[in-house]
Amino acid sequence: MYSGKILFSQLMDFLPVHEFRKCVERYGGNRKVKSFSCWDQYLCMAFAQLTYRESLRDIEACLRAAHVKLYHMGIRGKVSRNTLAHANEVRDYRIYEDFTKILISLARELYSNDPFGVELEETVYALDSTTIDLCLSLFPWAEFRRRKGAIKMHTLLDLRGNIPSMVLVTPGRVHDVNILDELSMEAGAIYILDKAYIDFARLYGIHKSLAYFVTRAKRNFNYKRLYSHPKDKRAGIRSDQTVMLKGYYAGIDYPERLRRISYVDKILDKRLIFLTNNFDLPAAVIAELYRCRWQVELFFKWIKGHLRIKKFYGLSENAVKTQIWIAISIYVLVAIIKKRLNLEGSLYQILQILSVTLFEKVPLEQALSNFESEENIVDAPNQLNLFN
């Protein structure tokens, strides 16, 4: 009979606690704290994410019901909704942001050799954002429209393993294209963007960083064809051209040549126009790369469906960002465990098992290895078409 740690404690053992302490010290998180430390706060919020708690009162009730096990969970302070609410309000969210970034670096290293649908050596990122609606009267800092509040979660997703390499939370009124100014471009990497990110001055910044971009052209795209390349009609390629931008200001913003690819999706019978500064990859690969952008949409759908980031335990900007970063850290933690334990189940299955077994004294690998046949549970049963 197994008499070791409970599952929650085994799960937290995968976290680099020494790195967490460094993040806390960096922002003075435990300054003047007597009993409820930042680590206690993180464990309580992690428990809430893993078990889908609805509110601070819900968290308090569940943890107090299991008070004899709190010590074994690593929680040393007394759990109270007022204490947890105060911690979320005043303790710098950057503690959890920095810690999540450390987990992300660990996860990306583990998934660095995973395939993502296109055989390439280069790192490929998909950039997009998702909007989370909020009540403007309760969240006045999250301005979106005149009578509506919202925040945007901008995410740069590494397609190898679907690990978010960058997450930025902003008020809803911040336009997506502005996020390109916040990115440190990686030389040789490929960035997949949708039409919302078309700003030729910023795209030229990617080009000057020796990185590549793949995006879709807008309807009013004005260009001059310089010459055409051979095309593979069997792969859906209708044209592959080298072009220059027409217009005085456009020419200043992007003075270099661009590659314009016309592609027809045979399933949807829809024509798509791609723009890229990569002249080396085959046109069919460029089209397939853009199709892979759908993975960032699935990432947003997954975390909204399986983690608590649509309803918040606090009203301040700091509390909201704290909850979002801890939610992302749990997503990355589960991905790390899946890889290190070589589990066959999906992240969804792992979370479902953990949600009902956190207090069990069972070896973690044993608890997470007993899956039924592959994909009895489907992550995205109503998946939308990418090119709609």
Confidence check: pLDDT of 72 > 50: yes
- pLDDT per residue over 247-269, tens digit each? 888 889 999 999 999 999 887 78
Confidence band of 2 (pLDDT split at 50, 70, 90): low
Tell whether 26 and 89 lie within a shared domain: yes
Confidence band of 277 (pLDDT split at 50, 70, 90): very high
Confidence check: pLDDT of 318 > 60: yes
Tell whether 270 and 339 lie within a shared domain: no
Confidence band of 373 (pLDDT split at 50, 70, 90): very low
383: in domain: no
| Mean pLDDT, rounded, for 109-137 | 88
Q: Is the dihedral of CA 98, 102, 103, 104 positive or negative?
A: positive
130: in domain: no
Query: Which residues, including other chains, have CB under 8 Å from residue 317's CB and lie 6 or more apart?
Result: 141, 142
pLDDT score, position 235 = 86
pLDDT score, position 157 = 93
Confidence band of 3 (pLDDT split at 50, 70, 90): low
Confidence band of 331 (pLDDT split at 50, 70, 90): very high
Confidence check: pLDDT of 229 > 60: yes
Tell whether 269 and 339 lie within a shared domain: no
Bridge-partner residues for 130, per DSSP?
153
Confidence check: pLDDT of 291 > 80: yes
Alpha-helical runs (H) found in 282-316: 283-291, 294-306
Residue 367, CB-side half-sphere exposure with 13 Å CA sphere = 23
| Mean pLDDT, rounded, for 149-175 | 91
91: in domain: yes
Q: Label residues 36-47 b or e (16+ Cβ within 10 Å = b).
A: bbbbbbbbbbbb
Cβ neighbours around 91 below 10 Å, total: 25
Q: Give the chain's mean pLDDT.
A: 88
**Which residue would you say has higher pLDDT here, 71 or 331?**
331
Confidence band of 381 (pLDDT split at 50, 70, 90): very low
Confidence band of 378 (pLDDT split at 50, 70, 90): very low
Residue length of the chain? 388
Phi, psi of 3 (to 5 degrees): -130, 25
Tell whether 319 and 268 lie within a shared domain: no
Tell whether 11 and 92 lie within a shared domain: yes
Count of domains in the chain? 2
| DSSP code at position 170 | E
Tell whether 85 and 12 lie within a shared domain: yes
Alpha-helical runs (H) found in 111-255: 200-208, 248-253
- pLDDT per residue over 78-106, tens digit each? 889 999 999 999 999 999 999 999 999 99
pLDDT score, position 387 = 42
- The region of weakest confidence among 107-116, 195-204, 216-225, 253-262 is 107-116
175: in domain: no
Cα distance between the two ends of the chain: 54
Confidence band of 371 (pLDDT split at 50, 70, 90): low
* Strand segments (E) across the chain: 124-134, 143-145, 148-158, 163-171, 190-192, 212-216, 223-228, 237-245, 258-265, 270-276
pLDDT score, position 231 = 86
Residue 188, CB-side half-sphere exposure with 13 Å CA sphere = 4
169: in domain: no
183: in domain: no
**Structural domain boundaries, residue 82:** 7-96+314-369
Check: CB of residue 51 under 8 Å from CB of residue 358: yes
Angstrom CA distances, 382 to 60, 132, 199, 270, 378, stand at 35, 20, 33, 21, 9
* pTM, entire model: 0.87
Confidence band of 5 (pLDDT split at 50, 70, 90): confident
Query: Which residues, including other chains, have CB under 8 Å from residue 265's CB and lie 6 or more apart?
Result: 236, 271, 272, 387
pLDDT score, position 37 = 92
Check: CB of residue 359 under 8 Å from CB of residue 72: no
110: in domain: no
Burial of residue 388 (number of CB atoms within 10 Å: 0-12, 13-18, 19+):
exposed
Residue 269, classed as helix, strand or coil, is coil
291: in domain: no
pLDDT score, position 376 = 45
